[in-house]
Structure 1
Amino acid sequence: MRRLFGLALAGALLMTPVALAQQAAPRELAFTVERDGAPFGTHRISFSGTADALTVNIAIDLKVDFGPLTVFRYTHRNREAWQNGRLARIETATDDDGDAFKIVGRSTPDGFRLDQGEASGSLPKDILPTSYWHRAALDRSLWLDTQSGRLRNVAIQRIGEETITVAGVPAKASRYRVRGDLEMELWYLANGEWAGLEFVARGSVIRYQRITPADVALLPDGAKPAPAIASAAP
């Protein structure tokens, strides 16, 4: 379960950073996480700042209890700084049931440099992390793993439109299938907001249920729908 949690859970939301950053007050996107239909934890993302300096804070807290005992625990903290739509800095810390991980990265004039993490060194300037909130990741075939700092090759296919539940209300969403170093299903609303996630870990189905209503002032001037992607080969 550990590796898959690190790959699929580290990170998650909705539109371009510039559009979101026009909201000065902090905004939050929240999910409950289920394991085989049972409560497993939460995944929360908050946004604050301006169009020139957007700050994104991500918190994932998961655990499995057996009676009075906690038999599995996962925590992940991710702080991203964005400047003019570009990832300027990222710092994450993860406790994967006792195994600790940390990555630190920053933009440079020539690209993006990972100072701490498995892929330490120079990375592409347009690299995007596996926090999923930036839907432009659907156009990429290379993602930065926010737990380990490893580069992940992925291929993405748009499956089609489905009806899912968002904050207890039916909503139309586009489903995307991710294959390669990561395997998962992602859902985005028509306005671009991240709406769901599902993957399998050690035979258990892990699913995100969004508890934040759609259009909660997260898109001040709207956002274009995520592009229809046939495939993006690694």
Structure 2
Amino acid sequence: MLDRRALIAGAVSIVGAQALPRFALAAMPANGAYRYQVLRNGKPFGAYALTFATAGDATTVTTDVAMQAKVAGLTVFNYRHHCEEIWKAGRFQEMHSTSQRDGDKDFCAAVRSTNGGINITNKNGPLLAPPSANPYTHWNGGVLQGPLFNPETGFMLRLTAQSMGHEPFVMGNGARASGLHWAVRGENDIDEWYDDAGMWMGLRAVFPDKSIVEYRRL
């Protein structure tokens, strides 16, 4: 079974000397869009899109993910995820997401509380996350130091992340580029890459069925 949660969430403590500043945004263009191809075992599997829209000191980051697999012409896996985050002055403020895998639906709403903590509501009810928590939505490597919550389900997971220095990464056009590599380990194995400007280049993850899923920036 494909575990899309492996690619959506985690709570990360950092090991290594090249940690990024807490709450600092790795990169946030005022306005712009980035597209990523999704591969599974080297074959097309879907698409991932990021858009940034800034008004004053607030930026809305929108993520859309679509993945599909077919066997003998029949759809055996169909996944959609839509997420909107609001960041203000480089600090997470609010997030809303909806996800659907076949007939399985998830939603998550997270709002920074004025009296401390992050108020999260998901399909299981309300919970309170630490005030330093952020959504793990991949594009922002600057959040890897602190606690993270799953932007799909709203739950905290425990992983560790270690900076591996600069290593090559294959982009969507097939070109090899050097990027800062973070190895995220624990319940799942995820490797993230960021360019010198701090923008997310993509990832490589191993699913529980041992298949390899890659996101590559186009």
TM-score interval (norm. to shorter) = 0.7 to 0.9
Q: Which of 201, 204, 207 matches 2:211? A: 204
The alignment's C-alpha RMSD in Å is 2.3
**Between the two proteins, what is the percent identity of the paired residues?**
25
Structure 1 unaligned blocks of 5 or more? 212-234
Residue 118 (structure 1) shift: 5.1
1:55-91 C-alpha deviation (Å, 9 max, x unpaired): 1110000000123321111110101111222221111
2:193 to 187, 197, 210: 187
1:82 corresponds to which residue?
Answer: 87
Helix, strand or coil: the match of 1:151? coil
Partner of 1:174 in structure 2? 180
Amino acid at match of 1:63: Q
Q: Residue 7 of structure 1: CA displacement?
A: 3.0
> Structure 2 residue aligned with 1:20, among 15, 24, 28?
28
The answer on 1:121 being equivalent to 2:121 is no
Match for 1:34 among 39, 47, 67? 39
Number of residues paired by the alignment? 203
**Aligned mate of 2:161, from 156, 161, 164:** 156
Amino acid at match of 1:185: D
Asked if structure 1 preserves the Cα contact closer than 8 Å seen for 2:26 and 2:199, the reply is: no
Task: Name the SS for the 1:90 alignment partner.
Answer: strand
**Larger RCO of the pair (alpha carbons < 8 Å, separation 6+):** 2
TM-score, length-normalised on structure 1?
0.79
SS of corresponding position for 2:157: strand
Unpaired runs of 5+ residues, structure 2, are 11-22
TM-score under structure 2 normalisation? Answer: 0.84
Specify the SS of the correspondent of 1:163. Answer: strand
State the SS of the aligned residue for 1:136: helix
Question: Which runs of at least 4 in structure 1 moved beyond 4 Å after TM superposition?
Answer: 15-19
What does 1:91-102 align with in structure 2 at a 5 Å threshold? Answer: 91-102=96-107
